[in-house]
Amino acid sequence: MMSNKTKLTGEVKASLKRQLLNYLIIFEATLIVFLTCLAIKVRDIGIDVPTSKGLKVFLLLIAFPIIWLCCLAYFGAWDVRIFDNHYEGYRLLMKSSFMTFLVFSSASYAFKIQISRFVILFSLIGGTIIHLLLRWIFLRVADKKLKKNSLNRWLAISPNGEMNQALEKYAEDTKTDIKYIASFENQKSFESWMHDLTKEFEQFDFEKLFLCSTQELSRSQIEEIVWLGQSHNGEVLVLSYLGAFVRQRQVAAHSEGDWISLLLPRINESHRVLKRLLDLALVTPSLILLSPLFLVIGIAIMVDSKGSPIYIQRRIGQNGVHFTFPKFRSMKQGSDEKRMEILGSPDVGMVERYRNDPRITRIGRILRRFSLDELPQLWCVLIGTMSLVGPRPILPEEEPHLESSHFKRNIAKPGLTGIWQVSGRKETSWQDRMFFDLEYIRDWSVSLDVILIARTFKAIFTGKGSY
């Protein structure tokens, strides 16, 4: 009985954090736009300015709140960790404001646009001060709400399950209970030890997981432990001198100096805002421009073979949620029932089976050759179940082939393209595909998305791996 209750509390708390974060994003975005508009209105920017220069000023001022919002998203100022580390939330907000000033000033200088000092001072400096004050109030209110859903319990992994003095002091200051378990030892298999650790997380709702020792653990084993804690909505922390085993961009200073926090992969709650803006900016005009092509392809499919031009599948999306996955139909009707018979399970010989798949129609081979069958998924990007770039969504029947570390790929929305799609697609192995997906999660950035989108056009024209 206790197990179900505590597990539910953990889920409720994680959901509440995401809900509060969404409120914060909406509120701060509205605040930035409002302050900019107010500054422009009070100063009456544009009076006695030539039309050509006035247009430039207007466009740059319109870009100002967009630049600020993008900086907040890019630098992680809207990440869930700010609820546990307020100092980090304030620091990232200040960093975002400073970078906004640099970008805005550089653009103003490069295009020789004179902007009123009042607008800059009022919107940026005044806005930052108001921003900090309102965020301080918001985080205090959020703390009260979150404490109602917190059992205030931590799990610590230490040699022989011994107490750690640095952690005990930290727990004493926050009035938190700690449960210690012995770190992995070679006389017990790692799989068995991980099974016991998983049972602890399933039985109790641990707010934080502390790794006090990495003795006898390989890098992959450490990553598996970290992922276990993160996947159960817990913050994972290690002693500061143990932080060398992770990439620098995956750690953050903690308010308690002896510890550093191991972050979730780059596509987190903050970066999803920036990624979503990029998706909408690209996919909206694409759908309008490509609508005539959609009509031509649909007619060609119906002339070539019987059946609907659109084929619908169920795929596994973000956080393991199934979603509707549309494609232009490239196979004969009833082909789903023959899939396992013809393709079988993912293995080395699957490439040849893809290449000679008898279910594909004549038009279907052309569509697949140039990836035109994937175009209806632009609709999924528009409504938010997919992204332009990300791990390719897998079928429900492929899920049993995922290893424990592979589930990290579900952090991101599935993508129309990605590293796998520009690296040979079906000519790569299942393990390579999983490696590419996890590499994308670890290294995500806006520039990486832009590079992959550009490389996708090359992959389409070469047709490598498109069967």
What are the tens digits of pLDDT across the range 392-435?
A: 998 888 888 887 777 778 888 999 999 988 887 767 778 888 88
pLDDT of residue 76: 81
Delimit the domains of the chain by residue range. 2-147, 153-262, 271-462
Query: Nearest-CA neighbor of 256 among 157, 156, 143, 170?
Result: 170
Query: Token pair 């109602």 is at which residue?
Result: 148
Q: 367-373: long-range contacts at Cβ-Cβ below 8 A with a sequence spacing of 24 or more?
A: 367/297, 367/301, 367/328, 367/330, 368/330, 368/466, 368/467, 369/463, 369/466, 370/460, 370/461, 370/463, 370/466, 371/459, 371/460, 371/466, 372/293, 372/297, 372/328, 373/327, 373/328, 373/329, 373/330
Among 258-267, 278-287, 359-368, 418-427, which stretch is predicted with the lowest mean pLDDT?
258-267
- 46, pLDDT greater than 60: no
* Residue count (the chain): 467
Q: Taking residues 21-35, what's their average pLDDT?
A: 86
Protein fold of 153-262: Rossmann fold (3.40.50)
pTM value is 0.68
Burial (CB < 10 A; 0-12, 13-18, 19+), residue 295, is exposed
Tell me what pLDDT residue 447 has. 83
The strand ranges marked E within 141-224 are 153-158, 177-182, 208-211
Is it the case that residue 148 has pLDDT exceeding 90? no
C-alpha distance across the termini of the chain, in Å: 51
Q: Which residue has the tokens 């179900």?
A: 4
Sheet arrangement for strand 153-158: 177-182, 153-158, 208-211, 235-239, 259-262, 251-253
DSSP 116: -
β-strands 177-182, 235-239 pairing: unpaired
User: Lowest mean pLDDT: which of 157-171, 237-251, 352-366?
Assistant: 237-251
Provide the pLDDT confidence category of residue 282 given band limits of 50, 70 and 90: very high
- Token readout for 230 is 């993160």
Q: Hey, CA dihedral for 191, 192, 195, 197, is it positive or negative? A: negative
Q: What is the pLDDT of residue 350?
A: 60
Work out the mean pLDDT of the chain and round it to a whole number: 79
Residue 291: band (very low, low, confident or very high) from pLDDT cuts 50, 70, 90:
very high
Which amino acid would we find at residue 17? Answer: K
Confidence of residue 55 (pLDDT cuts 50, 70, 90): low
Summarize pLDDT for 333-351 with one digit per residue, the tens. 777 666 666 666 665 556 6
Residues 300-333 have pLDDT tens digits of 999 988 889 999 999 999 888 899 999 999 888 7
Strand partners, 251: 262
pLDDT at 2: 36
